[in-house]
Structures are given as C-alpha cells and as structure tokens.
Amino acid sequence: MKRAVVVFSGGQDSTTCLIQALAQYDEVHCITFDYGQRHRAEIEVAQKLSAELGARAHKVLDVGLLNELAISSLTRDNIPVPNYGSEAAGQLPSTFVPGRNILFLTLASIYAYQIEAEAVITGVCETDFSGYPDCRDEFVKALNQAVSLGLARDVRFETPLMWLNKAETWALADYYGQLERVRRDTLTCYNGIQGDGCGECAACHLRANGLAVYQQDRAGVMASLKQKSGLQ
C-alpha cells in the first residue's frame, strides 16, 4: 500500500498538495502543527478540509515550544503583519518563522516512520514565494538526507509545488476539479481571513496575482503545468 503524510496547514498550497496526494496514494495522513500561530482558525480550517477531502487520518500536534523560540509577526500579536511591498528588499520578512519547516518536516518524518509511510509531502515553493530560506529546494533535499540517515529508513520528501508559480498551482487544483474549493475554503491570508483574504498582505498578493494570471490564460498555464509536472 502506498502511504503518504501531508504537512497540512489548510492554506492554498498544502490543500492543493493534499488533493493531488489523494489521487496518487492509497492512504493519506495529514499532520497539522499548533505552534501558537497568530490565527488559530487555520487549524480548524485544516481539520474541516482534511475530513471533507477524505484523508485517512489527521493529527494535530502541539509544538508550542516553537512559539517561545521563534519571534515573527505570525507568532507575536504585537508585531504587525506587513502589507505587500512594505518591507525592505533583500531582508527576510517579519512573517518568517525561524526553524518552522526544519521542525515540521522532522516531526512529520517521525510520524511517517511510525505509520510506515513512504513520503512526506510539503507545499513549499521556490518559484513564487516570500523569500523564506526553509522553502528552498536545496534546504529540503539536505534535510531529507539527514532525516533518512537519522531514521535509518528512506523517507522521501516530495515538493510538488517547488518549481510551479502561483498560476500553475491554481491550475493544479483545477486539474483535479477543486479550484473553487481551494479558492473558497482555504486560509492563506496572514491576517486570518478565509477565502480570498485581506488582499493586502504578501500571501494574498501572491495568491490573487496567480489566480488572475491563470484566469487570463487557462490553456497556456495548464499546458505549462503539465509540462513541468508530467501530468497527462
């Protein structure tokens, strides 16, 4: 039996990864991390979506220690979430949570080990992203090697969105007939607004811009997605 674990936040990217994983694996488990994030509604959104989409199981893991260590506008109410374009170029945005993906992928791998899953799937992306160093392909591959060595078992990290832009990510949801669900039911906004979000933060800007590009050229973007992803 092919089994996978999806690192699942209930946002656009991880939901699209879950949708694809459900089509590719016999059994899919979701793992969501409660790290005292600014908008805890995302945990409820993730629980609802995983159940509706048909995940085999959904584990919510308390990792509150991250909140104590990682200072970010996503972990501290007194640090405002910046609007798109308001932060200095070349600097890490205040929404970067140091060590988040290091911790999440490591813990997801331990869970995968216990349930004998062959893959851990994460929606990180290096093409359209906010400059987070722990979303880079180089980082994911390095951590994957270290984790597999430490567990003495091959656990494969899959990053299906790594080389897709946001328009192509929308196309991927549409390929599986779930574009409207992803648009309506996911929570990507840094200000905690479900669906199309606040329209002001960086996450909303990337999401809305990608959707606009896809809507303007569905055929072209879908063709690009299929070429990159090997979809038929």
Q: Which residues are annotated as a binding site for Zn(2+)?
A: 189, 198, 201, 204
Q: Which two tokens stand for residue 146?
A: 């270290």
The bridge status of strand 27-34 relative to strand 3-7 is parallel
Known binding-site residue numbers: 8-18, 189, 198, 201, 204
The Cα–Cα gap between 79 and 36 comes to: 14
Shortest CA distance to 47 belongs to which of 163, 187, 226? 187
Shortest CA distance to 194 belongs to which of 60, 8, 44, 30? 44
Q: Which residues of 200-216 are buried (b: 16+ CB within 10 A; e: fewer)?
A: bbbbbbbbbebbebbee
Known binding-site residue numbers for ATP: 8-18
